[in-house]
Amino acid sequence: MANWVKCTHKGDEQPVYVNVDAAMSMRWIESDNATIIVYAGGEIDVVRVCFESNRYAGRMSAAVQSNIARLVRRYFDSGTKRLDVTWYGGEPLLAFSVVERLSKRFLSFCEEFGREYSAEIVTNGTLMSHEKAQQLASWKVKRAQITLDGVPELHDARRVPKNRKPTFCTILDGIDAAAAHMHVSVRINVCRKVAARLEELLQILAARGLNRVVSVYVAPLQKVEDRKTLPSRGPQARVSSVAPQPDGEQLDALDGREAADLELRFNDLLWKYGFAVSNCLPEPRCTTCMADKEHSWLIEANGDVQKCYWTAGLRAEAAGRLTEDGIAPREPYRKWQDWTAFRNTGCLQCIMLPICLGRCPTIAQPSSTIGFVCWRAPLECRMDNWFLFNCHWPARKSESRPVAA
Ligand code: SF4
């Protein structure tokens, strides 16, 4: 799921709607899960993007970085066995020194305490080079997620840099560079317009040989009415519209059934053009996302702590504040603690509950005005897909093909 936000820059007459795919996050797996999004990137100068960067220009301060390091040490002191980090936010490659400094501290802590560590990065790809990818790999960044917004024509109309030059080819170069050093997962943000030309896009990627080195998946864009209307909003919350496209027309979002059908069709296309195909059956789970994981945090560059990517940048939604002594909770934290899919009577009667868990704690909250979309149809489709793949297409199954991570 991708977020579209309204960005207005000085000198621009028209606001630009762009996808949010930046910032930096950390996640603890196992019993002490934590996700921390740190605003490493500050203002993005490559792409007019990002709901966060408009708010907290500049990189993460040394003080906040030190507090993160203290937090990690405290987790290790209390027995946390593993640290997983996702560098995300603003554009992490623009805050490379922050990524470097914190990576080295985390690695040193893990060595000192004998803990496991891994990291991944979410980047727009425009600044990725072989040198950077190599350095990231040396800091145990094992996976990069890079996003495309459709075929070149559609992508370049949506991903607009300050210099207004097209970014599609630059991003493909970035994908190439990253893929030489880590696994790359390409996310294609999909509306109806993009969906209609997915085969074209896969042909372009395959012609560059990327079908052999990256995995690709589609993320249907969803309409969000108005981010300032999230529950408990305060005076500092501000609008980040998600639905409209850059040219002002409304986002032609797929509905739940269409998204499910697309997934099935897309897998066929992946197969046709030689990409890895996911063959995973959805499994029951204990938590949905960082919102209901006790030790998962999203830390912004200014030290605010969130429990959801959607609220990043909304100060009134901050669940806490990172201090020298750890995370000091604030009032909005309570709603995350109280949330459970088992209070929703519709979900309680649903056979998919164990693998869905009500899908998204943010949009499932009664006070949320973000349109709730039940995930049953896509889940059923995914199961049908698995059944078709494993039972009806034995010839395909026996072919030797990579499986998407
Ligand atoms: S599939 Fe729909 S009804 Fe079932 S648990 Fe998920 S959100 Fe609730």
How far, in Å, from the CA of 336 to the mean position of ligand 1? 19
Q: Of all residues in the chain, what percent carry a pLDDT higher than 90?
A: 34
Instruction: Give the start-end residues of each E strand in 302-391.
Output: 304-306, 320-323, 326-329
Q: Does the CB atom of residue 356 touch ligand 1 within 6 A?
A: yes
Torsion of CA 221, 226, 228, 233, to 10 degrees: -90
Residue 329 pairs in a beta bridge with: 320
**pLDDT value at residue 104:** 96
Q: Does the CB atom of residue 347 touch ligand 1 within 6 A?
A: yes
What tokens were used for 25? 């996050």
Domains of the chain: 31-339 (3.20.20.70)
Question: Which of 375, 380, 382, when mutated, tests ligand 1's pocket best, judged by the most ligand atoms within 8 Å of its CB?
Answer: 375
**pLDDT value at residue 235:** 28
Q: What is the pLDDT of residues 273-297, one digit of tens each?
A: 999 887 778 888 877 888 888 888 8
**Segment 350-355 mean pLDDT:** 88
Q: Is the pLDDT of residue 260 over 90?
A: no
What tokens were used for 29? 């797996």
**346 CA: nearest ligand 1 atom:** 3
Q: What is the pLDDT of residues 100-109, one digit of tens each?
A: 999 999 999 9
Instruction: Give the Cα separation of 16 and 223 in Å (integer).
Output: 16
Instruction: Give the Cα separation of 120 and 137 in Å (integer).
Output: 9
Q: Of all residues in the chain, what percent carry a pLDDT higher than 70?
A: 72
What tokens were used for 333? 């934290």
**pLDDT value at residue 27:** 36
Q: Does the CB atom of residue 284 touch ligand 1 within 6 A?
A: no
Q: Is the pLDDT of residue 327 over 50?
A: yes
Q: What is the pLDDT of residues 20-73, one digit of tens each?
A: 333 333 333 334 544 455 545 444 433 333 333 344 556 788 999 999 999 999
Average per-residue pLDDT for the chain: 76
